[in-house]
Structure 1
Amino acid sequence: MSEVRIAAEPRTEFGKGAARRTRRAGKVPAVLYGHGTDPQHISLPGHALMLALKTPNVLLTIEGLGNGAELALPKDVQRDPIKGFLEHVDLLLVKRGEKVVVELPVQLVGDVVPGGQVAQTAVEISVEAEATQIPESVELDISELEIDSQVLAKDLKLPSGATLAADEDILILQILDASVSTEPEAEAEAEAVAEGAEGEGEGAAE
């Protein structure tokens, strides 16, 4: 897994105004917590943090703290819904050798069988892994899946060192028959809605 060193600064001002000032200075407000310690309010360099968070479950080495460097995982990342910049980050303290539960993306590899269509219902899966050995993703080869087949969480081949932390019967995906179209049903439903609206209009006119 990826490990990134990043420098932190203590944060003594709180509230929306203080957070805006922190972001205007090119930094991101953050909270570091875990292991029964009091939460530490810090700020992190915005550009470096943004680059680091492009890697799922990146392990951060937080430097510049009074008690030395700390290892942490991002647990909650808040972004501006319109512009996408980082607004706030919650970081969970971890230790080497410690097991943690994280969400891994399910990455599809291979081509779907001719005439088949992939319907993926879960794009992430919860696994438990060592904090410093978290895989980047879970690969799922769909090339040998037949039409009407399903893949459940228990069917996934997890990376070495990772164990399933989710319900084993969660549906990950199924292979549908691409030749079976739902368009006639959709058209019939649209016609029924249109007829209903037309009937309401006539009633209003009366």
Structure 2
Amino acid sequence: MTDKIKAETRTEFGKGAARRIRREDKVPAVVYGHGNDTIHLTLPGHDTMMAIKHGGANALLELDIEGKSQLALTKQVQVDPVRRTLEHVDFVAVRRGEKVTVDVPVHVVGDAASETLVVTENSTVQVEAEATHIPEFFEVDVTGAEAGTQFHADSLDLPSGTTLLTEGETLIVNVTAAQTAEALEAELEEAEAEAGIEKDEHTPTDDEVAADGGDGEAAEGGDSE
């Protein structure tokens, strides 16, 4: 299922034109692919943002370009880092039934066994799928997994019609033993030793403390009144 967005073609380019478009709560965008000339568009800001959020990393939109329908796969999205609004969107034109190559995110769910650390080694995998049936994400369930458990790309549950392109033995999630405080301290000491840092482990005696004034103030020579 795709989101339908009404698009307008544009003939003005450059930073000034893009700023004017954004002031109108719209988004500059381009569509390329299939050997066609790049199409420069203006899209409604809110509707496009919601469609991309709904579709995920590989959102598929149905663009109405002057009465002509065009399926467009999201390839690159620029977002304002402060306002979190869309700045620009790149799409690639696709057709129904066409196979496309995409990177699909991996989501880790569940809680592994106690005293373990779950490490995501690769957060995406590459697959080939029909443009209209791209998986939104793949799940790796680590519930109860013990230290030493590993999840590889070929263990992912792929829907029918989706082909894994990432090497099957690629490590996706690694469950390791959580580092103890003692091991962390030992690692820190080793790093300090390699850096030539020496710790002063001398603990002052009561006499040394008294000689310094006892109350934290250094003793001064000479008489005082």
TM-score range with shorter-chain normalisation?
0.7 to 0.9
Equivalent in the alignment of 2:64 = 63
Structure 1: runs of 5+ lacking an equivalent = 197-206
SS in 1 for 2:20: helix
Opposite residue 152 of structure 1, the aligned amino acid is: H
In structure 1, what is the equivalent of residue 5 of structure 2?
6
Normalising by structure 2, report the TM-score. 0.79
State the partner residue of 2:209: none
Higher RCO (C-alpha under 8 Å, 6+ residues apart):
1
1:163 aligned partner: 163
> Could you tell me how far apart the structure 2 residues matched to 1:159 and 1:90 are?
27
Alignment of 1:187-198 (within 5 A): 187-190=189-192, 193=195, 195=197
Larger radius of gyration: 2
Residue 48 of structure 1 aligns to a residue whose secondary structure is helix
- Within a 5 Å distance, the mapping from 1:43-54 to structure 2 comes to 43-54=42-53
| One-letter amino acid of the structure 2 residue matched with residue 195 of structure 1 | I
Q: In 2, are the aligned partners of 1:99 and 1:131 still within 8 Å (CA)?
A: yes
Give the equivalent residue in structure 1 for 2:109. 109
2:136 aligned counterpart, secondary structure: coil
The residue type paired with residue 34 of structure 1 is G
**1:187/1:47 CA distance change after superposition, 3 Å:** farther
Contact 1:116 1:175 in 2 (8 A): yes
Distance 1:113 1:139 in 2: 18
Shift of 1:122: 1.3
Runs in 1 of length 4+ with deviation above 3 angstroms? 179-182, 190-194
Amino acid at match of 1:5: K
Question: Residues 180 and 152 of structure 1: is their aligned pair in 2 closer, same or farther, counting only changes over 3 Å?
Answer: farther
Residues 150 and 171 of structure 1 are in contact (CA less than 8 Å); yes or no, is this contact kept in structure 2?
Answer: yes
CA offsets 1:101-147 (integer angstroms, 9 cap, x no match): 11211122222122221011211111111111112111112125331
- Residues 144-153 or 68-77, more deviating: 144-153
Q: CA deviation at 1:179?
A: 4.7
Match of 2:122 in 1: 122
Count, aligned residues: 194
The question of 1:97 aligning with 2:97 is answered: yes
Question: Aligned letter for 2:8?
Answer: E
- Could you tell me which residue of structure 2 aligns to residue 204 of structure 1? none
Tell me the SS of whatever aligns to 2:167: coil
Distance, in Å, in 1 between the alignment partners of 2:27 and 2:196 is 50
Deviation at 1:96, TM superposition (A): 0.7
Q: CA deviation at 1:13?
A: 0.3
Q: CA–CA distance in 1 between the matches of 2:20 and 2:196?
A: 53
> Secondary structure at the residue paired with 1:189?
helix
C-alpha distance in structure 2 between counterparts of 1:195 and 1:113, whole Å: 37
Q: Deviations over 1:34-55 (max 9, x none)?
A: 1111110001011111111113
1:186 is matched with: 188
